[in-house]
Each structure stands twice: as structure tokens, then as C-alpha cells.
Structure 1
Amino acid sequence: MKKTLVIAITFLLVSCGASIQSNFTEQLKPLSMDNKVAFLDLQHPIPENAKKIGEAKFGDSGFSTNCDFNTNLINARKLARSNGANIVKVSKKTTPDLWSSCYRITVEFYYFEGDVTKLAQYQLQIN
């Protein structure tokens, strides 16, 4: 009985985070914290000469917490920086609903040689 309880509690604790699946076709030199990363939402166009280097899906593991839109983007920015991408483009977004309290998003990662601060982009909401 105790063993089953320990396994159940461990399962619940491990499965509280949002699931993230990423795939990078190219890994560039990681960006520093000084390098800006642009967030392009569904309506924002990708610059013409940006190079796609990967993608990721942020989902719900069943007991997920901290999986709102901004938190997912912050996690996407960490992935982007570590792989050399300076644009995070949301390509699919599912809002929380009856089945999940999480935002489920698919993002693409791009490297752009221009100034990403000049792109029309989503601004993170600060609470």
C-alpha cells in the first residue's frame, strides 16, 4: 500500500509541468542574455530572409500548472536562446478549455540577421 502511494505521489509531482517536445534541424551558437528574442504571434509575419532552425510543441501533461501563454513563451525563449534562434513564431495556439487549463501552442524558431526589435511582435504581459 505504501509503495503504491509513493508511486502515485511521484507521478503527480513529475507530471505537473507542461510537456515540451522540440526538434531543431540546425543548432547555432547560443545567444547571450543581451541578445533580444522576438515573439511573433499568429498575426505577425515572419521576415523574408529569416531561416527556420526548429520547432516545438507545448502541451498539457494532464496535471500541468504554469502553462499560460506567457510562461510557454518564456520557456520557448530559453529554448530559442540555447539553440541560436532570435525569433519565436507561434504557428498554432489552442486556448484553455473544458479539457485543459493550459495554452497548447506550436512554435517555430528562426534566426534573423536583422534587428528583431524593429519587428511588429507580441509583448509579454508582466503581472
Structure 2
Amino acid sequence: MIEIKELIKKALEIKSRAYAPYSNFHVACVVMTKSGKIFEGINIENSAYSPTLCAERNALSTAITHGEREFVYIVITGDSDYTYPCGVCRQFIREFADCDTRIVVAKDSENYKTYTIDELLPESFSKKDLK
């Protein structure tokens, strides 16, 4: 199985591909599914701002498009020391993360923090609430 440090290195490698001409804040996300597949995403800004696509939603949407719905790791790197998912991304992650999904916020491959979605978005609304 791939190690978390390898996923962090991959995210750091693709961060430069981010399209961030307005904020100049580059973010990358790499997700690993329970089936072992890896998907990448970068932030893609838009001059109207609200259509901007965050790296986390980009990576997860790509995986979902390929039929994946279960995730082991969601690794996030950005231009700040530790770049955390925004509120919209936390809610998006909530839809697909289970109690075993690890959300990794990485400064580099040696300095990272690991969370569950319940730690990042406590008392959140989820599909369980609709049943």
C-alpha cells in the first residue's frame, strides 16, 4: 500500500499546476480510494470568484466520476504552512468521508496533521440526516 508521505509528495509536485492568477494561492489535493486508486486535483480560479473550483472538490469529483465513492486519504497542500479545506469543501468531503477516512493537511512530507471529518466539521449535516 502506498504510504502517506508518497501522497504528500505527489500533492506538492502538482501544486504548481494550480490556476490561481487572482489570489496567487496554490492548492493541491491527492485522494486515495479504498480500492487503491489515486486521483489529483488543483484549485482553478475564476475571475467571478464564486465559480472557483477548490483542489479538494476537483480531486474528489474526478474520483467520483470514475465510480469511486470510498476514500482512505484526502491529502491537502497549499501555499500556507498548513492549508485546511474551506467550509464548502468540508461539507463536500462530509458526503463521502467515513469514520476511517483520513484528511491530511501537509506542510511537507515530514510535517503534516491528520484529521477525521468529524474533527474538521463537528455536528455537521449529512446524508444520515435525510433518512
Q: Decide: shared fold, TM above 0.5.
A: no
Larger Rg: 1
**Bigger relative CO (Cα 8 Å, ≥ 6 apart):** 1
Q: Report the TM-score when normalising by structure 1.
A: 0.30
Which structure has greater strand proportion? 1
Q: Report the TM-score when normalising by structure 2.
A: 0.29
Which structure has greater helix proportion? 2
